[in-house]
């Protein structure tokens, strides 16, 4: 079991681990848990009741956070010719084809957050599945990262569009901003995520869909959010919930 320092333990004591807080209260607590000199990310962990072993109960998509992530998003694009030029002009950080694939395979180059590819590049990108897949960076047409409109895909990713999906234990892990964000901005990003997950609920889902929600700073303890407040925050709006 990992040992935590005094600052972490002090922060943990400020939280009632059994209590489920309202969204605004939880986010306020998490902002107050900032314990490092750098600007920590604020993470959201949503446990669902989905059986991800069934294809029709898997959850995956993209969402554009209203206030972005508070960090520079690095984009790698697999394209050539005119599409490569379009990607570069749109602000892609690295653009290539066979040369980019070789760099990833032979040099362990992974200094990017999102990978985008034109459809004709997928035979090349497909060879990188074992590398990009586990890192959550494999281009996928379902989330708009395999497309001929590479400029739009780059611009959306740069502006805060992120991918979400359930892991093997049916949990969705997302970053919703930085500790330096205003509480309202974090709450609005949180509400956007919850709204998207509710919208994207698989038709085959049975029983309780959202089992638990936890918000936490990257290097701090988590704070539970009352899942029953999910409906309230969507119906009443962020202003009322705050």
**C-alpha radius of gyration, the chain, whole number:** 19
Asked if 221 contacts 43 with a C-beta cutoff of 8 angstroms, the reply is no
* pLDDT by 10s per residue, the chain, length 242: 445 544 444 545 567 777 898 998 999 888 887 665 778 889 999 999 999 999 999 998 889 898 988 878 899 999 999 999 999 999 999 999 999 999 999 999 999 989 999 999 999 999 999 999 888 899 999 889 999 999 999 998 988 788 898 999 999 999 999 999 999 999 999 999 999 999 999 999 999 999 999 999 887 888 999 887 665 665 555 554 45
DSSP state of 73: P
Predicted pLDDT of residue 5: 47
Q: Are 191 and 216 in contact (CB under 8 A)?
A: no
pTM to 2 decimals? 0.72
Q: Is 167 exposed, middle or buried (0-12, 13-18, 19+ CB in 10 A)?
A: exposed
pLDDT at 223: 92
What's the pLDDT at 234?
A: 56
Q: Are 197 and 172 in contact (CB under 8 A)?
A: yes
Residue 45 CB coordination number (10 Å) = 17
Q: DSSP assignment of 191-225, as one string?
A: HHHHHHHHHT--TT--S-SEEEEEEEETTS--EEE
d(CA 241, CA 164): 24
Domains and CATH numbers, the chain: 11-69+162-241 (3.30.190.20), 75-159 (3.40.50.790)
Q: What is the pLDDT of residue 8?
A: 45
Pairing mode, strands 60-64 and 161-165: antiparallel
Task: Determine whether 38 is exposed, middle or buried from the number of CB atoms within 10 Å of its CB (0-12, 13-18, 19+).
Answer: exposed
Query: Cβ distance 78 to 124 under 8 Å?
Result: yes
Give the side-chain half-sphere CA count within 13 A for 103.
14
């Amino acid at each position: 079991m990992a040992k935590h320092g005094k600052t972490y333990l002090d922060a943990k004591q400020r939280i009632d681990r059994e209590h489920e807080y309202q969204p605004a209260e939880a986010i306020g607590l998490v902002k107050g848990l900032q314990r490092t000199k750098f600007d920590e990310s604020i993470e959201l962990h949503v446990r669902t009741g989905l059986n991800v072993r069934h294809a029709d109960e898997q959850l995956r998509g993209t969402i554009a956070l209203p206030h972005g992530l508070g960090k520079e998003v690095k984009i790698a694009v697999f394209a050539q010719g005119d599409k490569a030029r379009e990607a570069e002009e749109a602000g892609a950080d690295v653009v290539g084809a066979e040369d980019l694939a070789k760099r990833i395979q032979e040099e362990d180059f992974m200094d990017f957050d999102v990978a985008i590819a034109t459809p004709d590049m997928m035979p090349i990108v497909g060879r990188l599945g074992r590398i990009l897949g586990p890192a959550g960076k494999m281009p996928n047409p379902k989330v708009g990262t395999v497309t001929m409109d590479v400029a739009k895909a780059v611009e959306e990713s740069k502006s805060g569009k992120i991918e979400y999906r359930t892991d093997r234990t049916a949990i969705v892990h997302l970053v919703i901003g930085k500790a330096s964000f205003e509480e309202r901005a974090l709450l609005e990003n949180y509400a956007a995520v919850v709204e998207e997950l509710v919208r994207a609920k698989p038709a085959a889902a049975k029983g309780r869909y959202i089992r638990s929600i936890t918000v936490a700073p990257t290097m701090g303890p988590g704070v539970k959010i009352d899942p029953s407040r999910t409906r309230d925050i969507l119906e009443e709006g962020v202003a009322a919930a705050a």
